[in-house]
Structure 1
Amino acid sequence: MNNDRISNSWVPVCPLDDIVPNTGVCALINGEQVAVFHLPDGNPSVFAIDNFDPGSQASVLSRGLIGNLGDRIVVASPIFKHHYDLRTGECLEIPANSVNAFAARVEDGQVWVAV
């Protein structure tokens, strides 16, 4: 038995093949927008954070550019270019603008996000 299913509610998002490598998509999960990112060389290979960018007050993080700053895997918001850590949701430039991060995984080719 997978212990993650006991403590979290896992929601299927889409097949992994539906997300172009090194990009993100927006998924509507329980009425909230979640940005889901596919990094083909990563372990894990998928990440999920809130799609809402507090800096610009727009739901745009899924459209940001993925990269890294040191050991941190980040997405740069497409509007003000603030960097959000994909593991933690922390905004590197303005920590008060940090967003929620969610556990994500791939199982049998399907992307799942814990909410």
Structure 2
Amino acid sequence: MRELDAVDVVVTIEPGVRGVGLRNVPASLQVFDTHFPRFPVLPGVLVLGSLVELARRVCVAADAGEWRLVEAGRIQYRRYVQPGDQLMLTVRVLAAGDRAVVFACEVTVEGALVTRAKEIRMVREA
């Protein structure tokens, strides 16, 4: 399902260093039919999925292969994401080893902090 890991535009990728991307949140997303009809809100796990996808792209740019999420920790949700919002996704490498990379991530909407993930850990499949 495209809604889970959407990154609409990759603004910049510095392999092994950082990435910036955009995700548009159209009112037509199917998730808004049930979450919640009178007050539509993008679930936090979908925001997190976009960060993971951008982090994966930064990993692949530095070291081709299959990368997957193994841990997401210290996550803070600050405000609701609603239809019409455009998410600015930023992922920054904190530590990198042979098979693992740890990221710090932020999501903003019009400059306001929406979500912060202080630790996203990705590993390369053997």
Per residue, is there more helix in 1 or in 2?
2
Q: What is the TM-score when the length of structure 1 is the normalising length?
A: 0.35
Q: For the pair shown, which has the larger CA radius of gyration, 1 or 2?
A: 2
